[in-house]
Amino acid sequence: MEFSRRNFIKFVAGGAAGTMLSPLPWKLIDDIAIWTQNWSWVPVPAKGRFSTEHTVCTLCPGGCGIEVKKIGERVVKIHGGEGFPVNNGAICPLGAAGQQILYNEGIRWQTPMKRVGSRGSKKWEEISWSRAIEEIASKINSLRDKGTPEKLAAIDGNFSRSTLALLIKRFVNAIGSPNYITTPSEEDTYSMAFQIMQGNKGPVAFDLENADFILSFGCGLLDGWGAPGRMSNAWAYWSADKHAKPYIVQVEPRLSNTASKANMWLAPYPGTESALALGIAHVIIREGLYNKEFAEDYAFGFQNWVDEEEKKHKGFSTIVMEKYTPQAVQKITGIDSKEIINLAKKFATASRPIALAGRGKGILPGSLYDFMSIHSLNALVGRINKKGGVLVPDELPLAQWPDIEYDSVAADSVAKERIDKAGRGQYPFAESLINKFAQAVNDGSSVVETLLIFSSNPAYNTPNNTDFIKALDKIPFIVSFSPFIDETSLFADLILPDHTHLEKMMDTAWPAGLQYPVYTLSRPVIKPLYHTRHSGDVIVSLAKKIGGSVARSFIWDDFEHALKDRVKGLYESGRGEISSNKEVSPWKNLNAAHLSKKTYTSFDSMWEELRGIGCWFEPEHSFGNWSNIFHTKTKKFEFFSTDIDDSLKGYAGKRPVQDILATLGISSSGDEVNMPHYEKKGAKGEREDNGIVFLPFEIINLASGWVGNPPFLNKTLFESQLKRDDIFAEINPKTASQYGLKEGSRITVRSSKGEIRVRVHIFDGARPGIIFVPAGLGHTAYDKYLKGKGANPYTIIDGTEDPLTGQPVWWDTRVEILKI
């Protein structure tokens, strides 16, 4: 019995037969098939109980209620909050992709970090919270010991009126620095225009849902402007009922989503909106279509007038009649005079028209004279504080915190001039000027030793961010509170990461542009994923660490207590309600005497309800009243601003006002300086004479503010917007052929500030003579889903500054186009 070749074969044959008679091959085939369906690296989502938590989205100041769907402790989906007063179920693409902002590890700082390498080397080491807070406290204390706490500055992107913004400002002031700087927005320009013309700085409130004619000078009503959830809801309401639908006119040089949905689209040359508005005013006055009651009894400076010194002044109507004939305006704006006349008549004869100023989403500021000119249309047709018009509301009845306690050091230096010079002199109306801050640091006129940066990414989206980045280089100690690995935080020396929106409590006091008072409160729907801390809590502990009067100005245990103290004001006012009722749209019956549906009997029960529902609101407004809503010097709506007049005289001092206008960058003269008017572009010359104009634009599906675009939204970009890492600039075919450009051509766009590389998308919706580049790409930070994709249009912005406000002009950059 030998193991010969033959027997071996027999053995194998037997083995084969045995194998076939065993389950081995059959089971193996089956299992292998299943194996190929279950690669170990394909994620298997953890099972758990489904639940829904109600909160508020705080990715933008829109104040939308959201429903967060969870499986176990995991957030899996975000829906619009049904019945929530602001958005009633609507959600924007950014909000819907919010869980990616929470979970995307590549964009988040997970723990406090201290820079160890040189700036920009991206070398960091972890540091404990207590050590980090100690380090900042000791920096601040040494500034205070030297008597120079004003060398600390803070840049804050939190929503105006929000508790976190107020808390940060309080902290900066309490240690003795006046240098609390906010990131600029359209609301700032509106506030200034309202301050000047109406004497009030209250929230910006537009009763759009009740308007029957909306004349929007560039507001991207459907492109993410204001409170996007509210605007979508309004569009849904208008689309469902043709009687409710207003006639919408969109004035902007590019065919945006809003323009494409509008009844009329006018594309003037950018920066000439004020001329167009005044051309419309001209026709309205000429045709006698203005509201005579308002113009005569409640407005100042409409007719010619004589001042105390018997000096004669031309009124708004006279100047507009002289200077802004439709023909003259046609020359300035490029809009046909017949269209201007037609539009003016339509606007003035509508029953509830409203005119709006702004650009895109309203993340960036506009021009004061533009806003004044456009708002004067609302005044002309008597649409202020009327149903469907621009409302003049009071502030929310939130409680004030006790006054800050200043010690001698703080009291001295908090009164010093701000680094950005806002609020006095040349910029009497501005509250804060981030561009001037950068300038002052760069030219060495001011020294900043410590900079705290909250909820903003100025190194990315400040117009002309290169100047800002240069300024950062000169500041020895920078602390970033950003939860994100954004451009600005990469310049920081210390990173104290905040929670992301779903992990923290935040409030929105009056969502942008809403016509009735709303206070929203978000609450954490998930435990913090990482070793992050609420910036509000960090501020409170920092104040306590610094001690003395600073600590005594922060009497609260934490952020929540500080916020609760403000909310007590809502309770004590006895006003408003907390409810979510799908059936009632609060704006529908603002006028009606409102039956309060209060269900709470104590502050504690109110607090519980507010936390659960997330929204306090008051569907009331007293319309029609013109006699005591204007708080200007004349107690009237001012076509001629006594405020500007006084401020300029004050600034000029002994000099005649005429002499200082040039330094202020104002090209007009005389009374016009105090009135809505069109500012000719000075140095750069008119129109196309001086090269092609470069204009960034915003789209709703591309986050262009502080929060980076979530990966899901990359899916929504067209191939004509982003192809691989190339972003596309939209150019009219006529302009393209002038420059010999074809679809997909690669070009360099160069301004005096720098250059970006883009590709060309030929688009008839682009006004000739302008090159349009979307904002939101071109990041140099975040993760691979954002970093290095496209170009950042803000880097090459080369604008002047807006007269009187000092805000950056970002719509007037001239560029060269170079083919690659």
Minimum distance, C-beta of residue 38 to other proteins, in the bound complex (Å): 6
Q: Judged by CB under 8 A, does residue 583 bind other proteins?
A: no
| Segment interacting with other proteins (CB under 8 A) among 55-63, 472-480, 624-632, 779-787 | 779-787
Instruction: Yes or no: say if 766 and 254 are a contact pair by the CB < 8 Å rule.
Output: yes
DSSP 405: P
Nearer Cβ to other proteins (711/754):
711
Query: Which of 35, 145 has the CB closer to other proteins?
Result: 35
Q: Is residue 585 involved in binding other proteins (CB under 8 A)?
A: no
DSSP 694-735: EEEE--TTS--SSSPPPHHHHTTS-TTTEETTEEEEEE-HHH
> Whole-number minimum distance, CB 365 to other proteins, in Å?
24
Token output for 477: 């100690």
Min dist. Cβ of residue 385 to other proteins (A): 29
The residue among 482 and 674 lying less far from other proteins, judged by its C-beta, is 482
Q: CA angle at residue 572 from 571 to 574, to 5 degrees?
A: 75
Identify the residue among 581, 764, 818, 819 touching other proteins (CB under 8 A): 764
Range 670-709, binding other proteins (CB under 8 A): 700-701
Residue (of 157, 27, 133) closest to 486 by Cα position: 157
Q: Can you tell me which of 200, 585, 591, 716 binds other proteins, judged by CB under 8 A?
A: 716
- The four Cα atoms 607, 610, 615, 619 give a dihedral, to 10 degrees, of -70
Rounded to whole angstroms, the Cα distance separating 92 from 505 reads 21
Closest separation between CB of residue 256 and other proteins, Å?
Answer: 9
The residue among 120 and 744 lying less far from other proteins, judged by its C-beta, is 744
Amino acid identity at 757? R
Q: Which of residues 96-115 bind other proteins (CB under 8 A)?
A: 96-97, 99-100, 102-106, 108
**Integer Cα distance of 735 and 767 in angstroms:** 9
Q: Which stretch binds other proteins (CB under 8 A): 154-162, 485-493, 570-578, 717-725?
A: 717-725
Q: Which C-beta is closer to other proteins: that of 240 or that of 306?
A: 240
Contact (CB, 8 A) for 332 and 278: no
Using CA atoms, how far residue 788 sits from 157, 265, 780, 783, in Å, is 24, 35, 6, 9
In one letter, which amino acid is 584? V
Least Å distance between CB 460 and other proteins?
20
724 near other proteins (CB under 8 A): yes
Work out whether 29 is an interface residue with other proteins (CB under 8 A).
no
Binding-site member from 14, 425, 685, 744 for other proteins (CB under 8 A):
14
Q: Is the distance from CB of 751 to CB of 815 less than 8 angstroms? A: yes
Report the run of H or E that residue 340 belongs to, with start and end.
Answer: helix 337-349
**CB of residue 92 vs other proteins: minimum separation in angstroms?**
6
The smaller minimum CB distance to other proteins, of residues 330 and 446, is found at: 330
Question: d(Cα 820, Cα 816) in Å, to the nearest integer?
Answer: 13
24 binds other proteins (CB under 8 A): yes
Say if residue 652 is exposed, middle or buried (CB neighbours under 10 Å; 0-12, 13-18, 19+): middle
Task: Choose, by CB under 8 A, the member of 66, 91, 299, 441 that binds other proteins.
Answer: 91
Tell me the closest approach of the beta carbon of residue 72 to other proteins, in angstroms.
Answer: 9
Q: Least Å distance between CB 435 and other proteins?
A: 31
Binds other proteins (CB under 8 A): choice among 460, 785, 810, 811: 785
If one asks whether residue 44 binds other proteins (CB under 8 A), the answer comes out as yes
Stretch that binds other proteins, among 83-91, 137-145, 663-671, 682-690 (CB under 8 A): 83-91
Supply the minimum distance, in Å, between the C-beta of residue 199 and other proteins: 36
CA 487/CA 780 separation, integer angstroms: 6
**Residue 494 CA: distances (Å) to CA of 169, 230, 265, 497, 725:** 20, 38, 48, 10, 31
**Least distance (Å) between residue 584 CB and other proteins:** 18
Show the tokens assigned to 495. 């990173």
Which region among 13-21, 146-154, 357-365, 400-408 touches other proteins (by CB under 8 A)? 13-21
**Backbone phi, psi, residue 108, to 5°:** -115, 135
Among 129, 247, 600, 712, binds other proteins (CB under 8 A): 712
Is 644 a binding residue for other proteins by CB under 8 A? The answer is no
- Closer to other proteins at the Cβ: 67 or 493? 67
d(CA 187, CA 159): 10
717 contributes a contact to other proteins by CB under 8 A: yes
Q: Which of residues 734-763 bind other proteins (CB under 8 A)?
A: 734
- Asked if 327 interacts with other proteins (CB under 8 A), we say no
| 394 φψ region: left (φ > 0), alpha (ψ -120 to 50), beta (else) | beta
22 lies in the site for other proteins, by CB under 8 A: yes
Closest CA to 202 of 398, 384, 396: 396
Nearest distance in Å: CB 155, other proteins: 28
Among 135, 407, 565, 783, binds other proteins (CB under 8 A): 783
Given 8, 126, 658, 682, the residue binding other proteins (CB under 8 A): 8
C-alpha 534/C-alpha 475 separation (Å) is: 25
Which residues in the 226-285 window bind other proteins by CB under 8 A? Answer: 228-229, 232-233, 235-236, 239-240, 255, 257, 260-261, 265-267
Question: Which of 10, 655, 746, 819 forms a contact with other proteins (CB under 8 A)?
Answer: 10
In terms of phi and psi (left: phi > 0; alpha: psi -120 to 50; beta: otherwise), the region of 733 is alpha
d(CA 374, CA 380): 10
Given 303, 337, 668, 714, the residue binding other proteins (CB under 8 A): 714
